[in-house]
Amino acid sequence: MLSLLPAVVAILATVALALGATLARALTPAAGVVAAVFGAIIVVFAGYAFLALLILFVVASVLATRYRFTEKQQRNVQEGRVGERGIANVVAHILIPTGLALAAGGSPPLLSLPTVAVLYASALAFGAADTFGSEFGVLAGRARSILTARLVTPGTNGGVSGTGELWAAIGAVTTGLIGFVLYLLFGTSTPPGAVLVGVVAVSGFVGCQVDSVLGETLENRGLLTKHSTNFFGMLSSVVLSAALLGALGWWR
């Protein structure tokens, strides 16, 4: 946990960033408030590296969302009205990372910081894989059901495409690499780089596939919402990440 002065600076920076995202219409006002509160908790309990990785995830998500946005509007597959993320979207993607930060920064900590660093990056790797896969995949000419391989309209729950899967993999791998660099720069203790990047990339990508399966089997039947599907997809990434760390002997 940060000491008083660094914590105050971190909180002010988090509020400023959330305000900037709201003014840029990347977040609704309510979502901006939620992002500021949860972001402040993350940085105070886990440190600057965790906030930096979260910020980069948000920036990348905004850029992906607004890529060829007019075309997405024409197809009626855009996020919000102008690409903004609402409170439900933010809550679905930030609850688990915040819980992990609290687990590492509590007194006594429930999990070691090296373990949480990997689990946290895996959660955001899911978010990046899901966002990239959706925002770039929806522009693909065709998509197929992840379960039956039948042709479906791009943007259909459970529909995947080669383009979307490629970008999902890029999002997961990139998050692992950037996470490793940020943890290194800020002096955050982690498992070896190959373990961290490998576990994060695999967990994030697989969680994205779980999200698609849940979308086709449960969301399409009204048993889950889009945001609860995202939440459980992220949870599956974290659970897989924990299992891989254990199997590799790096659970601490």
pLDDT bracket for residue 80 (50, 70, 90)? low
Average pLDDT of the residues in 67-82: 75
CA 33/CA 192 separation, integer angstroms: 36
pTM of structure? 0.93
Within a 13 Å sphere around the CA of 186, how many CA atoms are in the beta-carbon half? 20
The CA R_g of the chain, rounded to the nearest whole Å, is 18
Report whether 46 contacts 99 (CB < 8 A). no
Cα dihedral sign, 102-215-87-79: positive
The whole-number pLDDT of residue 4 equals: 72
Q: pLDDT digits over 104-157, tens only?
A: 988 888 999 999 999 999 999 999 999 999 889 888 778 899 999 899 888 788
Q: Whole-number mean pLDDT of the chain?
A: 90
**pLDDT the model gives residue 84:** 74
